Homo-oligomer: A and B are copies of this chain.
């Protein structure tokens, strides 16, 4: 058997501790599988005295990750610090430059610096593996980078944020508001104290940026992602979706179009019959459409220390076996430039919910604006709100009534223009809700 592969683990939070535990429990089995022992030589964290519930006896301690990255004591630098700059970035750069393999769970770092880091890794002829950075325990990076490498991918999409999916699932199941769900998710530890990054879609966008590059062979372009979070979703939308045969999911979607590659993160109506509609709670799911394989869907835990550690360790095992795959699926120099398909050219169906002023002709105005924009309607749902006594009110003084439209396939620009035209007529109250419908088999 070859010399043991020596790891330096930077960051001993939840994932770091799980990696240490996993290696303690299954390290021997891993060595048999890889034909090479894997040992932790060094760890790096700010406070060496904190009790982390793991045995770190005999390991070298570093407080500066850059120093550990350059140390002769390690062959693989395992970056579990997080963040797209500072210690994480500096230490990963230092490790790659020093000829150390890097394994990381850091989606933000990859989304921002992935191509550049890939170039450094190539120059040093080392691996940069990051299975845990996208969808936690789901092996989607390997699936795209290796298993589907013989396919031309037309679309990759998925539920990539467990917090959002947990909130949407509970809103639907229990009929409770976004705010109440979020508070409960925070209480249960499924959402951060500052949840912005999750609920506004940034976390999903980081993961999508990486998937896009792997799927289409283009340079990572995280800044070109259209992004809408889930904060505007109401129980009324979820209920209407249900009645119309849909569920609402926060999807990240990257899709090849005639004008480039669309990257978008937004609440999405998905048909109840689709596989993705049935992914509940904190689970993640990723679907890839390949020209030869068809659609492959991977489902599993997208976060959590142990699930993430499983992917980190798989990346380490690849290094131990000597398997090396180009960081972004092909040499960085061969990656195509990313050409953004403008969101205004997006084609699809739309769900639109208006609060319509209750006066004669109001709906006719709306219908006319849609028709003028060349938008055909698949469904129209109007249900008078019962107020007070339960008897529907009528007459000019009544409060606005909800009207829901489902359009046939049209373009984003047509919908936006129609909504502007409708707003200018003074027939709706407040901003309409607009949710895109994703065509799924």
Question: What residues make up the interface of A, taking CB atoms closer than 8 Å to B?
Answer: 18, 22, 25-26, 29-30, 32-35, 131, 137-139, 142-143, 146-152, 217, 275, 278, 290, 292-301, 304, 306-307, 309-311, 313-314, 317-318, 321-326, 329-331, 334
Contact = CB atoms under 8 A, between A and B. Distances in A.
A32 B297 CA distance: 26
A314 B137 contact: no
A158 to B, nearest CB: 13
Given A26-B150, A150-B22, A138 B314 contact: no
Given A150-B314, A324-B321, A293 B35 contact: no
Contacts of A300: 293-297
A148 B315 CA distance: 10
A309 B324 contact: no
Contacts of A143: 139, 142-143
Copies in the assembly, this chain = 2
A295 B280 CA distance: 14
A125 to B, nearest CB: 12
A301 B291 CA distance: 12
A32 B290 CA distance: 18
B296 A149 contact: no
18 contacts: A29-B152, A32-B330, A33-B330, A131-B147, A139-B147, A139-B296, A142-B146, A147-B310, A151-B310, A290-B310, A292-B309, A292-B313, A293-B307, A293-B310, A294-B300, A299-B299, A323-B323, A323-B325
B142 A26 contact: no
A29 B25 CA distance: 40
B29 A217 contact: yes
A76 to B, nearest CB: 14
B317 A150 contact: yes
A256 to B, nearest CB: 14
Most buried by B among A29, A149, A317: A149
Contacts of A317: 146, 149-150
